[in-house]
């Protein structure tokens, strides 16, 4: 009798898994088919982004997004549904889970879905499979000319101005920001692209780095090897939040002096730092500080 | 116009010669390789020899289309260097000395090289990449840059340097076609670069347009959008053999696999895609055959071997 009910329970669990799996597959298919990219008859866009690879890649991301990290996304309406835009956010955690979840959120939560195209580190393209999958899913090498070309094609760019230094943050620094590069802002000025600031909270909990091995990294051809607290190179199922803020528009030509550009970079960084501090406070469950304008 | 084509015996050059002569131009070909029963005036001489200059002197062409360059897949070692650089130098010297008005250097998009830092699309003012890994490409790169020096050295001579992407089509000639010829085509495991190619008739039309419009400068020439190499091989009806790079480097030229210099493996790992908008804007060029029609044309002429 008991064994029967346990079997029934198992069966039910199994069928929930199957329904979840089917639901995810359905969402992924709809997201990829809903993309407004110029695919050809073979499902390949002019830069080699392939529907088949997107489906497989997003299939995995979606499971992580829905069930493993139970991602909560807010402010998705701040991303323009069409036309060029730049998502600018913070890095945390030893591996770019934040980028993956931001990409997943744009595909799964936006209507119509959009493909956020990250600007990845050059070293990635030296590795078999990684480079191939990055290229087929629209995650191209972070060259200024690539970014400019994509924006001119009215694509959605995903930028982490902290770069690899951002993913090098240790666990205790997960809600802080390191120096922002200024290239993204010059490009935004030059191409008249709105900047959508966003923060990812929880990626630092998912991959809590306690040390970065730079010498081993040099040996392997990567910037460094992050070592999480528990030693194994896997992410923990921490809950992750992705918050998008109101778009920022800067006027200019991209040819301004460094000082001027740095000033604007500072404004973007301040917005992100504020969103980060507020998010971190809420995650800790701290009361709002007096004088805070959030209810 | 009177058009002289050094390197006229090549498959692409022959097509060009026929097309130009159909368009009403007077076409003269020279090549050290024979062209049996040529339908145009043809001289079997080496462009670097005195006899070639005498043809320039006697014919006094209006336009020269220099197609006498070779890749490392065809000619090895120092001779290739002599052909590509010595030949290009001779062509430009004779052109200036004998009243040529327009000289077109037909180069290759492999000029830009391929590496992990390859941009999505190359524009004409970029320097070559990764030359240290593929030294067999150096003489073609040098010939391309040398040809472009004519733009300032001989301002009275209109000079066009074309960097044309891979060609494919029914003739089955060219780097890409040779690579795709066999039943099994090797790919580097874990890499799948975009390949950009153009139907050979579209290349011919592009060169003809460069000639008609007498555009000066350096221009990329490409056609339809690029495809991932594995897709291209599949669509050509070939079997894809994915091998790790170190294995592939060891078996090239054996077991029916094409022979490639090891530097060429970079071109099987990373893309070379060019931005050809400048050429389109200057000449109004538009391709006729899309990527799938181009592959189909090759496949029809070279069905999968049994």
Task: Say whether B231 and A140 touch across the interface (CB within 8 A).
Answer: no
Task: Say whether B291 and A135 touch across the interface (CB within 8 A).
Answer: no
Partner residue facing A149 (CB), from B121, B235, B245:
B121
Task: Say whether B120 and A125 touch across the interface (CB within 8 A).
Answer: no
Task: Let me know how many helices (H) and strands (E) chain B has, helices first.
Answer: 12, 13
The answer to whether residue A1 is domain-embedded is no
Q: Which residues contact B25 (CB under 8 A, 6 or more apart)?
A: B1, B2, B3
Partner residue facing A132 (CB), from B120, B190, B227:
B190
| Domain ranges within chain B, ordered by starting residue | 2-173+197-225+273-289
In chain A, the residue whose alpha carbon lies closest to the alpha carbon of B123 is A145
Task: Report how many domains make up chain A.
Answer: 1
Q: How many CB pairs under 8 A join A and B?
A: 64
Q: Does A125 touch chain B (CB under 8 A)?
A: yes
State the burial class of residue B197 (Cβ atoms within 10 Å of its Cβ: 0-12, 13-18, 19+).
buried
- Give the model confidence (pLDDT) of B104-140 as tens digits: 999 999 999 999 999 999 999 999 988 888 888 999 9
Nearest CA distance, A146 vs chain B (angstrom): 6
Task: Say whether A132 and B189 touch across the interface (CB within 8 A).
Answer: no
Strands B26-30 and B2-6: what pairing? parallel
Q: Does A143 touch chain B (CB under 8 A)?
A: yes
Q: What CA–CA distance (Å, rounded) separates B117 from A142?
A: 9
Q: Which residues contact A197 (CB under 8 A, 6 or more apart)?
A: A88, A89, A244, A245, A248, A268, A271, A272, A275
Q: Does A50 touch chain B (CB under 8 A)?
A: yes
Q: Residue A95 has what pLDDT?
A: 86
Give the pTM: 0.91
Tell me the chain B residues in contact with residue A145 when contact means C-beta distances shorter than 8 Å.
119-120, 123
Task: Say whether A128 and B120 touch across the interface (CB within 8 A).
Answer: no
Best residue in A132, A148, A222 for a mutation probing chain B (most B CBs within 10 Å) = A132
Partner residue facing B120 (CB), from A41, A47, A132:
A47
Domain membership of residue A124 as a residue range? 70-284
User: For chain B, which residues lie within 8 Å of any Cβ of chain A, measuring from their own Cβ?
Assistant: 116-121, 123, 188-192, 194, 225-228, 231, 235, 244-245, 270-271, 291-292
In chain B, the residue whose alpha carbon lies closest to the alpha carbon of A125 is B116
Phi, psi of B98 (to 5 degrees): -120, 35
In angstroms, the Cα distances linking A6 to A14, A16, A20, A227, B42 are 12, 15, 21, 40, 89
Q: Residue A295 has what pLDDT?
A: 41
| b/e B128-143 (16+ beta carbons within 10 angstroms → b) | bbbbeebebbbbbbbb
Q: Residue A294 has what pLDDT?
A: 46
Query: Kindly report the CA angle at B208 between B204 and B213, in degrees rounded to 5?
Result: 150
For chain B, the 3-state helix, strand and coil shares in percent, each to the nearest 5, are 40, 20, 40
Task: Say whether A40 and B225 touch across the interface (CB within 8 A).
Answer: yes
Q: Residue A6 has what pLDDT?
A: 77
Tell me the chain A residues in contact with residue B194 when contact means C-beta distances shorter than 8 Å.
47-48, 135
Nearest CA distance, B294 vs chain A (angstrom): 14
Residue tagged 């528009």 (tokens): A249
- The CATH classification number of B2-173+197-225+273-289 equals 3.40.50.720
The answer to whether residue A46 is domain-embedded is no
In chain A, the residue whose alpha carbon lies closest to the alpha carbon of B228 is A48
Q: Does A131 touch chain B (CB under 8 A)?
A: yes
- Which CATH number goes with the domain that contains A124? 3.40.1130
Helix axes B50-59, B87-97, angle to 10 degrees: 30
Task: Say whether B228 and A136 touch across the interface (CB within 8 A).
Answer: yes
Task: Say whether B116 and A131 touch across the interface (CB within 8 A).
Answer: yes
Task: Say whether B120 and A150 touch across the interface (CB within 8 A).
Answer: yes
The gap between the terminal CA atoms of chain A, to the nearest Å, is: 53
Helix axes A183-191, A258-284, angle to 10 degrees: 110
Q: Residue B97 has what pLDDT?
A: 96
Task: Say whether B117 and A122 touch across the interface (CB within 8 A).
Answer: yes
Q: Residue B215 has what pLDDT?
A: 96
Q: What CA–CA distance (Å, rounded) separates B82 from B229?
A: 32
Two tokens, residue A51: 């529907």
Give chain B's residues under pLDDT 70. 256, 258, 305-306
- Give the model confidence (pLDDT) of B191-216 as tens digits: 999 999 999 999 999 999 999 999 99
In chain B, the residue whose alpha carbon lies closest to the alpha carbon of A39 is B225
Q: Residue B305 has what pLDDT?
A: 65
Tell me the chain B residues in contact with residue A129 when contact means C-beta distances shorter than 8 Å.
190
Nearest CA distance, A90 vs chain B (angstrom): 24
The answer to whether residue A279 is domain-embedded is yes
Interface ipTM > 0.95? no
Return averaged pLDDT per consecutive 10 residues of chain A, 295 residues in all: 71 77 89 96 95 96 94 97 97 90 96 96 92 96 96 97 89 91 96 97 91 91 89 90 97 94 97 96 76 47
CA A269 to centroid of chain Cα atoms: 17
């Amino acid at each position: 009798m008991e064994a029967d009910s346990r079997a029934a329970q198992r069966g039910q669990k199994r069928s929930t898994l199957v329904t979840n799996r089917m639901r995810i597959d359905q969402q992924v298919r709809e997201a990829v088919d809903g993309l407004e990219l110029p695919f050809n008859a073979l499902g390949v866009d002019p830069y080699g982004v392939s529907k088949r690879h997107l489906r497989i890649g997003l299939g995995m991301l979606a499971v992580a997004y829905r069930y493993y990290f139970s991602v909560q996304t807010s402010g998705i309406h701040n991303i323009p549904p069409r036309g060029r835009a730049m998502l600018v956010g913070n890095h945390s955690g030893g591996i770019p889970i934040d980028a993956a979840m931001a990409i997943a959120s744009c595909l799964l939560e936006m209507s119509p879905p959009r493909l956020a195209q990250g600007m990845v580190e050059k070293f990635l393209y030296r590795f078999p499979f990684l480079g191939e999958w990055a290229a087929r899913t629209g995650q191209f090498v972070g060259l200024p000319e690539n970014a400019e070309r994509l924006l001119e094609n009215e694509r959605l760019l995903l930028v982490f101005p902290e770069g690899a230094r951002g993913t090098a943050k240790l666990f205790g620094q997960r809600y802080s920001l390191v120096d922002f590069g200024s290239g993204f802002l010059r490009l935004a000025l030059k191409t008249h692209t709105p900047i959508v600031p966003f923060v990812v909270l929880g990626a630092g909990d998912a991959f809590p780095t306690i040390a970065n091995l730079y010498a081993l990294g040099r040996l392997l051809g990567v910037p460094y090897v992050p070592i999480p607290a528990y030693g194994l190179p896997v992410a923990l199922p921490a809950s992750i939040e992705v918050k998008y803020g109101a778009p920022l528009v800067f006027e200019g030509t991209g040819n301004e002096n460094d000082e001027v550009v740095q000033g604007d970079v500072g404004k973007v960084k301040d917005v992100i730092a504020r969103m980060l501090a507020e998010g971190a406070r809420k995650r800790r469950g701290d009361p709002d500080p007096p004088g805070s304008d959030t209810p | 116009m009177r058009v002289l084509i050094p390197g006229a015996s090549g498959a692409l050059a022959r097509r060009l010669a026929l097309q130009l002569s159909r368009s009403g131009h007077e076409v003269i070909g020279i090549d050290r390789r024979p062209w049996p029963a040529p339908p145009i005036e043809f001289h079997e001489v080496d462009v670097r020899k005195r006899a070639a200059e005498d043809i320039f002197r006697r014919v006094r062409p209006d336009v020269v289309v220099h197609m006498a360059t070779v890749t490392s897949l065809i000619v090895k070692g120092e001779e290739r260097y002599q052909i590509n650089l010595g030949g290009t130098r001779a062509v430009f010297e004779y052109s200036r000395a004998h009243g040529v008005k327009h000289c077109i250097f037909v180069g290759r998009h492999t000029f830009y090289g391929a590496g992990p830092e390859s941009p999505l699309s190359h524009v004409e003012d970029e320097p070559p990449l990764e030359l240290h890994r593929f030294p067999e490409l150096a003489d073609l790169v040098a010939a391309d840059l040398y040809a472009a020096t004519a733009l300032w050295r001989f301002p009275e001579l209109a000079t066009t340097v074309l960097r044309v992407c891979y060609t494919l089509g029914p003739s089955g000639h060219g780097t890409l076609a040779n690579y795709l010829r066999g039943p099994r085509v090797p790919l580097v495991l874990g890499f799948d670069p975009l390949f950009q190619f153009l139907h050979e008739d579209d290349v011919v039309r592009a060169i003809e347009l460069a000639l008609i419009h007498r555009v000066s400068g350096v221009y990329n020439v490409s056609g339809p959008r690029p495809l991932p190499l594995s897709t291209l091989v599949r669509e050509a009806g070939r079997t894809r053999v994915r091998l790790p790079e170190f294995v592939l480097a060891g078996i090239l030229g054996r077991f029916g696999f094409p022979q490639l210099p090891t530097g060429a493996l970079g071109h099987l790992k990373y893309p070379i895609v060019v931005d050809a908008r400048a050429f389109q804007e200057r000449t109004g060029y538009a391709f006729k055959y899309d990527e799938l029609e181009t592959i189909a044309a090759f496949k029809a002429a070279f069905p999968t071997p049994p």
